[in-house]
Structure 1
Amino acid sequence: MRLTRRSLVAAGAGLPFLSLPQARAQRAPGQFRFGLSAFPPSVQAWANTGTAAATVKLLIHRGLLSYDTSGNLRGELAESWTNEGPETWVFRLRPNAVFQNGDPVTAADIQWNLEQIAAERSTAFYRTEMQGIARIEAPDERTIRIIMKTPVATLPYWMASYHMGMVSRRSTPQQQIGAGPFVVRGQERGTAMDLVAFDRYYKPGLPRLKEVRIIAYADENLRVAALQAGDVDLIEYVPWQSMAGIEADPRLTLDAVFGPFMYLLFNATKGPLADARVRRAVAHAIRRDDIVKAAFFGRGAPLEGLPIAPQSAFFDAELAKGWHYDPALSKRLLAEAGLAGGFATSILATAQYGMHKDTAEVVQQSLAAIGIQAELRLPDWATRVNLGNRGQYEMAVQGTATDNNDPDGLSNLVDGSLSPSYVRSIGLRVPALEEAMGQARAEFDAAKRKALYREAQRIALQEVPICGLAWRSQGYAMPKTVTGFRNMPGALSFFSGITLEETAIAG
Structure 2
Amino acid sequence: MVSISRRGLLAAGAALPLLGLKARAQAPGKVLRFALSSFPPSMQPWMHTGTAALTVKLLIFRGLTGFDEKGEVRPELAESWTQDGPTGWVFKLREATFHNGKPVTAEDVKWTLEQVAAPNSTAFMKAEFGGVDRIETPDPRTVRIVMKEPTVTLPIWLASPHMPIIAKDSIEGRAGLGIGAGPFTLKGQERGVSIEVAKFDKYYKPGLPKLAGVKLTAYADENLRVAALQAGDVDLIEYVPWQHMNAIEKDPRLSLVATDGPFMGLNFNGGSGPFKDVRLRQAVAHAVRREEIVQAAFFGRGSKLEGIPIAPGSLWFDEARSKYWAYDKDKAKKLMAEAGVANGFSCTLLSTAQYGMHKSTAEIVQAHLSEIGIEVKLNLPDWAGRVDAAGKGRYEFMVQGTTADNNDPDGLAPLIDGDLPPNMARSWQIPTPEMHMLFAKGRAEFDPAKRKAIYAELETVALKQAPLVGLAWRSQGYGMAKGVTGFKSYPGSTNFFSAYSMEETSLA
Q: Shorter-normalised TM-score: what interval?
A: over 0.9
Quickly say closer, same or farther: Cα 1:497–1:216, change in 2 above 3 A.
same
Shift of residue 271 of structure 1?
2.7
* Bigger shift: residues 433-442 or 181-190: 433-442
Shift of residue 8 of structure 1?
4.2
Contact 2:90 2:145 in 1 (8 A): yes
Structure 2 counterpart SS, 1:108:
helix
Quickly say closer, same or farther: Cα 1:503–1:278, change in 2 above 3 A.
same
Structure 2 counterpart SS, 1:397:
strand
Shift of residue 170 of structure 1?
4.0
Task: Find the counterpart in structure 2 of residue 76 from structure 1.
Answer: 76
Shift of residue 399 of structure 1?
0.5
Q: TM-score, normalised by structure 1?
A: 0.95
Task: Find the counterpart in structure 2 of residue 473 from structure 1.
Answer: 475
Contact 1:166 1:178 in 2 (8 A): yes
- Provide the rounded CA distance (Å) in 2 between the counterparts of 1:206 and 1:355: 35
Bigger relative contact order (CA 8 A; separation at least 6): 2
Quickly say closer, same or farther: Cα 1:341–1:176, change in 2 above 3 A.
same
Aligned-partner residue type, residue 281 of structure 2: R
- Provide the rounded CA distance (Å) in 1 between the counterparts of 2:334 and 2:8: 52
Structure 1 counterpart SS, 2:471:
strand
Contact 1:170 1:177 in 2 (8 A): no
**What percentage of residue pairs aligned between the two structures are identical?**
58
Shift of residue 418 of structure 1?
1.6
- Provide the rounded CA distance (Å) in 2 between the counterparts of 1:170 and 1:139: 20
* CA deviations over 1:82-134 (Å, ceiling 9, x no partner): 1123311111100x211000111111110000001100111111111111111
Q: Residues 279-428 of structure 1 correspond to what in structure 2 (within 5 A)?
A: 279-428=281-430
Q: Residues 180-329 of structure 1 correspond to what in structure 2 (within 5 A)?
A: 180-329=182-331
Shift of residue 9 of structure 1?
11
Contact 1:86 1:153 in 2 (8 A): no
- 1:105 matched to 2:104: yes
Quickly say closer, same or farther: Cα 1:184–1:7, change in 2 above 3 A.
closer
Aligned-partner residue type, residue 425 of structure 1: S
Shift of residue 175 of structure 1?
4.2
- Provide the rounded CA distance (Å) in 1 between the counterparts of 2:272 and 2:489: 41
- Provide the rounded CA distance (Å) in 2 between the counterparts of 1:6 and 1:351: 25
Contact 2:25 2:483 in 1 (8 A): no
* CA deviations over 1:431-457 (Å, ceiling 9, x no partner): 111111221111111111101100011
* Bigger shift: residues 39-48 or 171-180: 171-180
Structure 2 counterpart SS, 1:433:
helix
Contact 1:151 1:442 in 2 (8 A): yes
Shift of residue 405 of structure 1?
0.3
Q: Residues 129-148 of structure 1 correspond to what in structure 2 (within 5 A)?
A: 129-148=128-147
Aligned-partner residue type, residue 84 of structure 2: E
Aligned-partner residue type, residue 176 of structure 1: G
Quickly say closer, same or farther: Cα 1:494–1:6, change in 2 above 3 A.
closer
Task: Find the counterpart in structure 2 of residue 20 from structure 1.
Answer: none
- Provide the rounded CA distance (Å) in 2 between the counterparts of 1:275 and 1:343: 13
Structure 1 counterpart SS, 2:204:
coil
- Provide the rounded CA distance (Å) in 2 between the counterparts of 1:245 and 1:10: 13
* CA deviations over 1:198-229 (Å, ceiling 9, x no partner): 00000000000001100100000000000000
Task: Find the counterpart in structure 1 of residue 90 from structure 2.
Answer: 90
Contact 2:11 2:231 in 1 (8 A): no
Q: What count of residue pairs does the alignment treat as equivalent? A: 492
Quickly say closer, same or farther: Cα 1:175–1:155, change in 2 above 3 A.
closer
Q: Gaps (5+ residues) in structure 1?
A: 13-23
* CA deviations over 1:171-212 (Å, ceiling 9, x no partner): 124341100000011111000011100000000000000011
Q: TM-score, normalised by structure 2?
A: 0.94
* CA deviations over 1:330-353 (Å, ceiling 9, x no partner): 000111111111110010000000
- Provide the rounded CA distance (Å) in 1 between the counterparts of 2:124 and 2:490: 22
Task: Find the counterpart in structure 1 of residue 123 from structure 2.
Answer: 124
- Provide the rounded CA distance (Å) in 1 between the counterparts of 2:10 and 2:507: 30
The runs of at least 4 aligned residues of structure 1 exceeding 2 Å deviation read 3-12, 24-29, 172-175
Contact 1:342 1:371 in 2 (8 A): yes
- Provide the rounded CA distance (Å) in 1 between the counterparts of 2:43 and 2:181: 14
Q: Residues 21-60 of structure 1 correspond to what in structure 2 (within 5 A)?
A: 30-60=30-60
Contact 1:208 1:503 in 2 (8 A): yes
